[in-house]
Amino acid sequence: MAAFQPKITAFVCNWCTYTGADLAGTSRLQMAPEVRIIRLPCTGRIDPLFIIKAFERGADGVIVSGCHPADCHYNHGNYHARRRFAIFRDLLDFVGIDPRRVIFSWVSASEGGKWRDVVDGATATIRELGPCRTDTGDEGQGRLACAS
């Protein structure tokens, strides 16, 4: 049986983490290949529903990463995101998603090595938790079953 290859969606801000991920690539750092990046202007733009949608569409884990506190190019976007996700984390259990499947980090444009560590750490965590799946409920509607 083939080893479980987790699908991980990363929502990253354009200015810091995307550039850090690009630096990791141009520096030829080796890292787990399972992450697909979605670039957004700022972590403040990430609606928690984007994360739920990613799981509905087959992700086994999600990374959210942006500029370090006080470094946001839109001044307060990452502070808004941090507050929003502190509350959102409590709701994950309620919708059937193990909160360990959502990894938050701050990665600056010069931290290619840190991005590699985030990717490798997230991949190891999701691999340990196993695949996420959509169960079909009694009414024929898909229901996330991503709890461990």
Q: Which residues bind ligand FES (CB under 6 A)?
A: 13, 15-16, 42-44, 66-67, 72-74, 77-78
* DSSP secondary structure letters along 26-75: HTT----S-EEEEEES-GGG--HHHHHHHHHTT-SEEEEEEPPTT--TTS
Measured from the CB atom, is 6 or 112 closer to ligand FES?
A: 112
**Quick one: tokens of 58?**
């087959």
* Nearer to ligand FES (CB atom), residue 61 or residue 77: 77
User: What is the closest distance, in whole angstroms, from the C-beta atom of residue 114 to ligand FES in the complex?
Assistant: 14
Q: Contact at 8 Å (CB) between 16 and 43?
A: no
CB of 106 to ligand FES, least distance (A): 8
- Least spacing, CB of residue 84 vs ligand FES, in Å: 12
